């Protein structure tokens, strides 16, 4: 029994350490898109997919904010990325459209892909997220 005791103590200590581990960190990232370049837009969506794969989709919250020329990412007409964005939204990615950019380009919510949600100002949305501790990525000029 004497030789079994240290083994049991070690086993108990290891089990205690394993059960005390912190839960996986929730990664929150805001992605600012300011370009209408179709290659850059597709690249941005791929970047978000890769980020979610690397960090774990369940551990990753992403908001894509489109403003300035980037608002074109969310325009529904002839949008080759619409289905891809729909699938990403179904997995929890949020797509935000700058109301100021919509006004400047004479777009309404009806002109945008169904997953787009308006925000008052794209730059303000990015700042709010950064102030709340979100990581920041940018695609565009």
CB 36 within 8 A of CB 72: yes
CATH code for the domain of 52: 3.40.1260.10
According to the model, what pLDDT value does residue 114 have?
Answer: 97
pTM summary value: 0.83
Domain residue limits at 54: 26-139
Is 81 within 8 Å of 42 (Cβ atoms)? yes
Q: Does residue 112 sit within a domain?
A: yes
Residue 1: inside a domain = no
Q: In this predicted structure, what is the pLDDT of residue 141?
A: 77
Q: Looking at residue 47, what is its pLDDT? A: 97
pLDDT digits (tens, 9 = 90+) for 6-54: 544 454 555 554 444 556 679 999 999 999 999 999 999 999 999 999 9
Residue 40 in any domain: the answer is: yes
Instruction: Supply the pLDDT for residue 25.
Output: 78
Say if residues 88 and 55 touch (Cβ distance below 8 Å).
Answer: no
Asked if the structure places residue 75 within a domain, the reply is yes
Q: Is residue 110 part of a domain?
A: yes
**Could you give the strand order of the β-sheet that contains 60-66, starting from the edge strand earlier in sequence?**
116-119, 94-98, 60-66, 27-33, 135-139
Rounded distance between C-alpha atoms, residue 113 and residue 117, angstroms: 9
pLDDT at site 8: 46
- Burial of residue 47 (number of CB atoms within 10 Å: 0-12, 13-18, 19+): middle
pLDDT tens across 50-96, in order? Answer: 999 999 989 999 999 999 999 999 999 999 999 999 999 999 999 99
Whether 59 maps to a domain, the answer reads yes
């Amino acid at each position: 029994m004497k030789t079994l005791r240290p083994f049991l103590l070690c086993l108990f200590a290891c089990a205690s350490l394993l059960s005390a581990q912190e839960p996986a960190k929730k990664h929150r990232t805001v992605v600012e898109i300011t370009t209408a370049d179709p290659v850059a837009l597709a690249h941005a969506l791929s970047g978000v997919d890769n980020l979610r794969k690397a960090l774990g989709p369940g551990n990753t919250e992403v908001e894509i904010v489109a403003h300035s020329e980037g608002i074109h990412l969310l325009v529904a007409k002839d949008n080759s990325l619409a289905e891809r964005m729909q699938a990403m939204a179904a997995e929890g990615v949020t797509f935000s459209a700058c109301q100021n950019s919509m006004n400047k380009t004479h777009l309404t919510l009806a002109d945008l892909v169904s997953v787009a949600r308006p925000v008052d100002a794209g730059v303000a949305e990015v700042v709010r997220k950064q102030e709340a501790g979100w990581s920041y990525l940018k695609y565009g000029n």
